[in-house]
Chain A
Amino acid sequence: MGAGPALAKRLGYAHVGRPFRGASLSPWKWRKFGRAANHPPGPQFSTTGLGEPITFRMQLSTRVEEENDASRSMVDSLRTNDGVSCRICRGSHFTAVCPHRDNLGVINQTISLDPTQMEDVGKTPAGRYVPPIMRGRMGAGSNEPPAYTIRVSNLSEFMYEDALRTLFAKCGIITRIFLATDRPVDRQGNIIRNSREPPRCKGYAFVSYLNKADAERAIQEYNKYGLDNLIMEVDWARSKDE
């Protein structure tokens, strides 16, 4: 035959769907067999356990970005990302694995002498050593990632950090938790050293999230939430400047 168009006639459309799971077999209707023959339905503790939650980061390695983005200035690439921050290149990885450790370490030393940073140094009283942690804003160095912190108050005195973490981890990744506690005291008000009692909660705590959306969700979710016969209050934490 010649090279004419193929003969075809469109009769209609058929939607070929795909079942959600287990096209041919549904294991939920099976009888278990072999070693599991006597197991009741559902996972058994003897064979199935839940491991620790694992958090891993998916990102393009900095080497690729640098190769393909050579036009970006070196200083620009030193911006802090969220989460972990490298001391050398300010990338979002640990300093020990920094790909620029050998070549950028030297450059970084010169950058640290640039005038904007010199100003900060100048503010400190002359001739007195000020530890890095005390420079700039009290305690919080400017290198810290932006943490979205919420203040949780009206907690019961039996609150402990793990419980708080379990509760608030449902809303997102927590970078820091501070639970204000009192040391146990005797009747005269003296601190009991080596007490076997756990420290008592002062009634408030601060929870920092990695993402702002998570913190917002936590406020929505847990404000006026009942816990230990008390109604929890959750709101944005205010810094001392405000």
Chain B
Amino acid sequence: MSAKSVSSTIRPFQLRGHARPLTHVRFNNDGDLLMTTCKEGTSLLWSSYTGELLGSYEGHGGVVWSFDFTSDSRKIITASGDMTSRLWDTETGKELHMISAPSTVSDASFSVGNKMFFIVTVNNMNQHSSIVIYDATSFELINRIELPRDLRFTCALWADCNTRIIASLSDHTIVSYNVRTGETTGQATTAHKDTITDMQMSHDGTYFITSSRDMTAKIFDIHELSQIRVYTTDSPLNSASIDNIKGHIFLGGGQDASQVTTTHARSGKFETRIYHEALAEELGRVRGHFGPINTLHVSPQGTHFATGGEDGFVRLHEFDQNYHDFKIEFDENFEPSADVN
């Protein structure tokens, strides 16, 4: 196994539209749009090729925690701390529908094919944390999955052709539910040792990556919820994304925001780390943020990646040719070492 090291130079766009820490950064399915949300409650849409601001979605009265594009990018659903989830027309910025929830909405996501969506509510205001599944056209309630009072959903994903929802819980476990019946279909009880901060599905939908404050990111199989790979780092992680084209893993994080001012920027470990997906070995680091990276995403085409930091900046990177040329040559008799997971 060998690899010729390459030196990659990127001149990122610095997108200055937000005044407070970023909460969520995602490209659409085609990779030409980038949406960013922050704790101030603004949702901004950018062009990922030119970095220009295309518009904003005005209406939320509190922090926007998360959002999701439909697969054709025509609609966007946002999840907000003002106890609503809103559906927007991507092109005009008009609000199409509003769903009120009993407590803060922390996540929202469209199913594959956009016929359903779920919203995730948290367990404040004397409420139970729940995943509520709606029909995307009639807005009828399809199902509701509720947790005991002391537990909370942190992230959730559609899986297995919309038959299941995989969710991470505040007790650091990962559970999968049947969408129609709400039954538990699988559980990974020892998934992580600390809060699970992000979950992103792979391009083919057969595995997903989690990032955790316990300084590891892990890849799980969607059916058995069995652990496939572990990526061990030296700082708490806030986000993990998969570059499906190159087979690389991007991890972002850094020490707690409350600790940031006490140390030098270099020792805060605010770099994006690039790992090899199969070998679980670190390949490189991209610096740039002054604070922890809250959220990051690699475009589905593998051409761009965007990071959103606690410092309020979004950095939009376009990979250069050297990154695309980087290749690891494997010997014929190569066998992966046994300790990768």
Contact = CB atoms under 8 A, between A and B. Distances in A.
Interface of A: 21-25, 27-28, 30, 32-37, 39, 41-44, 46-61, 63-65, 67-69, 81, 83, 92, 173, 210
Contacts of A43: 13, 50-53
Nearest to B274: A58
Contact of B91 (A25, A37, A173): A25
B93 A34 contact: yes
Interface string B43-58: 0101101111111111
A136 B283 CA distance: 35
Interface of B: 1-3, 5-17, 29-33, 42, 44, 46-47, 49-58, 72-74, 90-93, 274, 276, 279, 281-288, 315, 317, 322-323, 326, 328, 334, 337
Contacts of B285: 56
10 contacts: A21-B32, A35-B42, A36-B54, A47-B52, A47-B53, A48-B52, A56-B8, A59-B3, A60-B2, A64-B279
A23 B54 contact: no
Contacts of A42: 50, 52
Given A25-B74, A33-B93, A58-B326, A83 B7 contact: yes
A37 B44 CA distance: 12
A189 B72 CA distance: 74
Minimum-distance CB pairs A-B, first 10: A34-B56, A59-B5, A43-B52, A33-B55, A33-B93, A35-B56, A22-B32, A34-B55, A58-B284, A48-B51
A58 B14 contact: no
Given A35-B53, A58-B322, A210-B7, 12 more contacts: A24-B72, A28-B47, A32-B55, A47-B53, A48-B13, A48-B52, A48-B53, A51-B288, A54-B12, A56-B286, A58-B8, A68-B1
Contacts of A63: 281
B7 A64 contact: no
B5 A57 contact: yes
Contact of A65 (B2, B9, B14, B274): B2
Given A54-B288, A56-B286, A81 B11 contact: no
Contacts of B55: 30, 32-37
B90 A25 contact: yes
Contacts of B282: 61
